[in-house]
Amino acid sequence: MTNSDKTILVIGGTGMLGKPVAQQLKADGFNVRLLARNTEKAQKLLGDGYEIIKGDVDDPAALRSALTGVDGVHISLKGGPTEADFDHMDHLAVRDIAQAAKELGVGRVTLISAYAVSKEKADTPESRSKLKGEAALKSSGVPYTIFRASWFMETLPMFVQGKSMSLIGNQIHPLHWIAAEDYARMVSKSYQSDETLNKELYIFGPEAYTMGEAMKIYASIAAPDLKVSPVSTRMLAILGTLTFNTEWKSTATLMGHYERHGEDGSPEEADRLLGRPTTTLKEWCNKRTPQPVNS
């Protein structure tokens, strides 16, 4: 069976990490279906060539309709900022998708997770919910591949506030930053091999930098006048409490988690099966920074 004979459903296909997966699957010849609340927005964002089903993971009828007749489903959901929201998206939605996929005979489910997800490191609402979501997928009986990814380069601009880039917490651990395009290529390739079934694969980029080092590289290329400003997780949590800002409180908890936990696992199996990521941080930054035009 060739790629053009297969249909892959992407749930979360308009998000920062879901969109490049949908685009890569299409570029590789798959038929790509999306489940989206706003079909017009999804069409505008991704363009032509996608089948779009209206609905979301809270609509059982729409979910089953989207899953009917597909060969695989990729889950790229984002929970938070409250504990209930994390459990809803990272655990219960994954459980419901996996169960429906099993009942409808879907060939495989792929799931984006994070490198610091384990029983020993389940110390935040997000990490606990992701761990439960992984367990629900594994116990569903549907073939699966879980991608435990390191930090994505695409998150770096999210730390920019005006002319400052917030380095939240004491981030001492070296991280193998990965470009979403490399990750998307690996997800698409996983649908072309049965060797990736029923595995948890660690997805690491080619270079390791602490978060502070990565921010300085990003700032030096994207905006030389951008200052990297340290902010303690405790201070951010206090500010979040005083201002009733749940996003700040959730971010403080998240970054506290990564203060404590560095990368574990090995990318060797993923690299062997799916090809090693090659995009460096500097290359990624330069691609997204307008270059001067010679007069």
Give 104-162 pLDDT, tens digit per residue.
999 999 999 999 888 899 999 999 999 999 999 999 999 999 999 999 999 999 999 88
Choose among 92, 90, 88, 99: nearest CA to 138.
99
Q: Is the pLDDT of residue 292 over 60?
A: no
Tokens coding 260:
């404590």
Q: Give CA–CA dist 68/53, Å, rounded.
A: 11
Separation between Cα atoms, residue 96 and residue 74, nearest integer Å: 13
Q: For strand 160-161 and strand 164-168, is the pairing parallel, antiparallel, or unpaired?
A: antiparallel
57-68 tens-digit pLDDT: 999 999 999 999
Question: Which of the four pLDDT bands, split at 50, 70 and 90, describes residue 223?
Answer: confident
What one-character-per-residue DSSP string does 47-95 give? -SS-EEEE--TT-HHHHHHHHTT-SEEEE-----SSHHHHIIIIIIHHH
Q: What does the pLDDT read at residue 116?
A: 87
Report which DSSP code applies to 194: G
Of the candidates 46, 67, 73, which has an alpha carbon nearest to the alpha carbon of residue 55? 67
294 pLDDT tier (thresholds 50, 70, 90): very low
**Among the residues of 141-244, which ranges form H helices?**
180-190, 211-222, 233-242
The pLDDT, as a whole number, for residue 289 is 64
Domains of the chain and CATH, by start? 3-150+179-203+263-277 (3.40.50.720)
Return the H-helix or E-strand segment holding 146: strand 144-149
Contact 35/56 with Cβ under 8 angstroms?
A: yes
